Amino acid sequence: MSIALKQVFNKDKTFRPKRKFEPGTQRFELHKRAQASLNSGVDMKAAVQLPNGEDLNDWVAVHVVDFFNRINLIYGTICEFCTERTCPVMSGGPKYEYRWQDDLKYKKPTALPAPQYMNLLMDWIEVQINNEDIFPTSVGVPFPKNFLQICKKILCRLFRVFVHVYIHHFDRIIIMGAEAHVNTCYKHFYYFVTELNLIDRKELEPLKEMTTRMCH
């Protein structure tokens, strides 16, 4: 992984600088290995399995950063159509509404328009993955004891981006010809979080029917 990003991010921009992996580090090699498996056409279910002899935390760290980069770009392709007028609440259809809480400004779950929720979400994840105490970049520095719990929360919140995009904005994805790309990213994400049990099954309910068609 790269040295923590020093720049101040423009809060109005949806496309953020990618968090990369330092060449020569074990995580860079794991990232290359994971990407090579996917690009070779290997079965996606097999590609997400923890390689023999590799550390679970490293494997999860690599994927969390990669999913953040990719899902952030997916939302970026439709963000101009996701406005406070079109999406006054962060939802996944009439049955599911997501409220924001961050223990800073929003100490209680708060209903927000989808674009505001998305910006807070991406900012929050960015802070986590650039925090050396959570995602250490130096060789030999251990992950914190609650690392997997933090990653579960990140992945759970990233899943909500898929929910909102698929249910409320998939027409734009189709118009832009990005359907296959988004579906592939979703399948990769779904297989990874279910293989390693990183998201509670009830969180996956909003896309259950679509997932059954796509992934089984």
User: Taking the CB of residue 145, how many other CB atoms lie within 10 A of it?
Assistant: 7
pLDDT at residue 13 greater than cutoff 80: no
List, for residues 41-75, the tens digit of each pLDDT value: 567 888 899 988 889 999 999 899 999 999 998 99
- CA-to-CA dists, residue 6 to 22, 68, 118, 139, angstroms: 15, 18, 22, 20
Looking at residue 41, its pLDDT comes to 56
Backbone φ/ψ region at 63: left (φ over 0), alpha (ψ -120 to 50), beta:
alpha
Count Cβ atoms within 10 A of the Cβ of residue 112 and give its class: 0-12 exposed, 13-18 middle, 19 or more buried.
buried
Q: In 10 A of CB 7, how many CB atoms?
A: 6
Q: For 73-127, how does the pLDDT look when each residue is reduced to its tens digit (9 = 90+)?
A: 899 989 999 999 999 999 999 999 999 999 889 999 999 999 999 999 999 999 9
pLDDT at position 54: 86
Tens digit of each residue's pLDDT (9 = 90 or more) over 154-210: 999 999 999 999 999 999 999 988 888 899 899 999 999 999 999 999 999 999 999
Is 164 among the annotated ligand-binding positions? yes
- Considering the entire predicted model, what is its pTM? 0.83
- Calpha distance 34→75 (Å, rounded): 23
How far is Cα 94 from Cα 148, in angstroms, rounded to an integer? 31
Is the model more confident about 204 or about 215?
204
- 143 pLDDT above the threshold of 60: yes
Residue 118: the pLDDT is 97
87 annotated to a ligand binding site: yes
Query: Would you list the DSSP string of 60-74?
Result: HHHHHHHHHHHHHHH
Q: What percent of the chain has pLDDT over 90?
A: 62
